[in-house]
């Protein structure tokens, strides 16, 4: 219980400070302003040989689309899973090659992390746009300037379900119910940066969470779309506060 309270306080009070530079720059996307009953589910850190296919099965069952921010190292290990993501019409996007904290890198190191994954993604995604999300949502002034020079806006989120934490699926569903709105970008994880098989890296809860989200919100009339589809429906919002 104490752990849960600590996680929630930390998330509400401290976590948003990470977004200082992306919000000041005005060049990141947190959600989209639209009246259409749509949300964009996004999955970071995959592809994973077990969890990603399980999530893909559920998405297919509900005719839902999503965006997967892949780690280049995992793309190299599981290219067939990535190919299935694309074949099912989902978007495959860039989440660096080795999942570093980019705030600890300088321009050339940041560019290299992005470009290595871009080189892996390009033959897979054909002509689709490749979006970028920095690990941990960390993007200081140097990261933002480097991305601007590369012509790459960054895609963050306005609803974080903390699916990597000790929260239960019920608690995560309650968090979503408090925050869900048309145009939301929802963060979840289909893998862990270090998939060493330890319990901490399990994403079995996420697999169950996705099933409950799709069952609950599809029944309420929501549809789940890719980031491209979401962006086509309204103005991208450059700060979290504009999403609430
Ligand atoms: Zn990540």
Token digits for 233? 């429906």
What is the pTM (predicted TM-score) of this model? 0.93
For residue 194, name the pLDDT band (cuts at 50, 70, 90): confident
Q: How far is the CA of 46 from the centre of ligand 1 (A)?
A: 9
- Given a cut of 80, is residue 15 above it in pLDDT? no
- Residues contacting residue 185 through CB under 8 Å, at least 6 positions apart: 29, 30, 31, 32, 39, 40, 42, 155, 156, 157, 158, 159, 227, 230
Q: How far is the CA of 132 from the centre of ligand 1 (A)?
A: 11
Instruction: List, for residues 131-187, the tens digit of each pLDDT value.
Output: 999 999 999 999 999 999 998 889 999 999 999 999 999 999 999 999 999 999 999
Q: Which residues are catalytic?
A: 44, 189
Q: How far is the CA of 201 from the centre of ligand 1 (A)?
A: 12
Check residue 227 and give its pLDDT. Answer: 97
Instruction: For ligand 1, an ion, list residues with CB under 5 A.
Output: 44-45, 135
């Amino acid at each position: 219980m104490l752990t849960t309270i600590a996680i929630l306080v930390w998330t509400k009070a401290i976590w948003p400070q990470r977004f200082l530079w992306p919000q000041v720059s005005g060049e990141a996307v947190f959600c989209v302003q639209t009246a259409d009953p749509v949300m964009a589910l996004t999955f970071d850190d995959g592809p994973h040989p077990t969890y990603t296919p399980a999530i893909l099965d559920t998405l297919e069952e509900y005719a839902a689309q999503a965006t997967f921010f892949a780690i280049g190292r995992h793309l190299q290990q599981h290219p067939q899973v990535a190919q299935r993501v694309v074949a099912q019409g989902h978007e495959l996007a860039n989440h660096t090659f080795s999942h570093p904290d980019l705030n600890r890198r300088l321009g050339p190191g940041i560019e290299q992390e992005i470009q290595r994954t871009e080189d892996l993604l390009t033959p897979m995604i054909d002509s689709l746009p490749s979006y970028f999300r920095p690990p941990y949502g960390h993007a200081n002034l140097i990261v933002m300037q480097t991305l601007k020079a590369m012509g790459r806006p960054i895609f963050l989120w306005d609803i974080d379900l903390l699916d990597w934490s000790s929260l239960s699926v019920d608690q995560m569903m309650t968090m979503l119910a408090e925050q869900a709105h048309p145009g939301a970008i929802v963060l979840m994880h289909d893998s862990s940066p270090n998939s060493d098989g330890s319990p901490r890296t399990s994403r079995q809860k996420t697999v169950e969470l996705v099933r409950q989200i799709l069952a609950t919100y599809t029944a309420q009339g929501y549809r789940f779309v890719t980031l491209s589809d979401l962006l086509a429906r309204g103005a991208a919002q450059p700060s979290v506060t504009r999403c609430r």
